[in-house]
Structures are given as C-alpha cells and as structure tokens.
C-alpha cells in the first residue's frame, strides 16, 4: 500500500511553455501533498505544501505565480510550471501524507512519488 505516482516521469519542453505534473495517491487518501525540487547533486528542497480544497502554502523564495499548485481531490495534486525557463530544469518530486492522522505512527508518514525530470530547452 501507500503508493504515490507521478506523471509524466520525464518531460522536455521549450522555453516559455507551461508544464503540468500530476501527483496521485493510488491506494489512500491524502489531505496533504508536498512538492519538492531537487537539482543535480543537491538535496530535496521543499517548494510548497498542498492541502485539499485550499490554497497551497509556499516556502520562502518560491514564486507562487510561477509554480501553480492545485489539490482538487484527496488523491490528486498538480504542479504547473508556468513560462518555464532552462533554470527551471530539475527533478520534481511529490509526497503525500496519509489520512486520517494518527499519533506517531505510519499514518502520519509521507510517501514519495518517483519524481518527474523536467528539461527546459
């Protein structure tokens, strides 16, 4: 159980176009999903926290108008990179937290998707 998928697994796009990445929890409901970005040889950097039915909370320095997040259901969150540029090329990873929340157990745990590699030409 606790499988998270991402689509697409990789994408190449031209500079100036927008790209949408989907994150799905396949066998559980996720009230909260997280979006991370990882540049080569670096650690994961949290971009935003996505809560079902409400606006995402962005980390400091992340442009909310550039990285649009929608969490329309308990199993799906999307990240849209708008007007992508080469510096947006990165590995984007989502994670989902299982619902309902229990104290200290795996039900509080985050499960990660396989990641989406974005290359902007």
Partner 1 sequence: DAKTTQPPSMDCAEGRAANLPCNHSTISGNEYVYWYRQIHSQGPQYIIHGLKNNETNEMASLIITEDRKSSTLILPHATLRDTAVYYCIVRVAQGAQKLVFGQGTRLTINP
Between 19 and 37, name the residue whose CB sits nearer to partner 1. Answer: 37
CB of 32 to partner 1, least distance (A): 6
Note the residues at the interface with partner 1 (CB under 8 A). 4, 6, 32, 34, 36, 43-46, 49, 91, 93, 95, 97, 101, 103-104, 108-115, 117
Based on CB atoms, which residue is closest to partner 1, 28 or 91?
91
CB of 64 to partner 1, least distance (A): 17
DSSP helix, strand, coil percent of the chain (3-state; round to 5): 5, 50, 45
> Residue 14: CB partners within 8 Å, gap ≥ 6?
120, 121
- Residue with smaller CB distance to partner 1, 54 or 103: 103
Pairing of strands 116-120, 10-13: parallel
Q: Which residue has the tokens 């995402």?
A: 56
To the nearest whole angstrom, how small is the minimum distance from the Cβ of residue 8 to partner 1?
14
Smallest distance, partner 1 to C-beta of residue 5, A: 10
For the chain, how big is the Rg over CA atoms in Å?
14
* Residue appearing with tokens 């994408």: 11
Closer to partner 1 by CB, 17 or 108: give it.
108
Question: What H or E segment, with its residue span, contains residue 89?
Answer: none
């Amino acid at each position: 159980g606790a499988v998270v998928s991402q689509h697409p697994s990789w994408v190449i796009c031209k500079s100036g176009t927008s790209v949408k990445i989907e994150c799905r929890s396949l066998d559980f409901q996720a009230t909260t999903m997280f979006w991370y970005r990882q540049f080569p040889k670096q650690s994961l950097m949290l971009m935003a926290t996505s809560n079902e039915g409400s606006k995402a909370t962005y980390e400091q320095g992340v442009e909310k108008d550039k990285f649009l997040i929608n969490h329309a259901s308990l199993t799906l969150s999307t990240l849209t990179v708008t007007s992508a540029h080469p510096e947006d090329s990165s590995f984007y990873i989502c994670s989902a937290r299982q619902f309902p929340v229990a104290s200290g157990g795996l039900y509080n745990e985050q499960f990660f998707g396989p990641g989406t590699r974005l290359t902007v030409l």
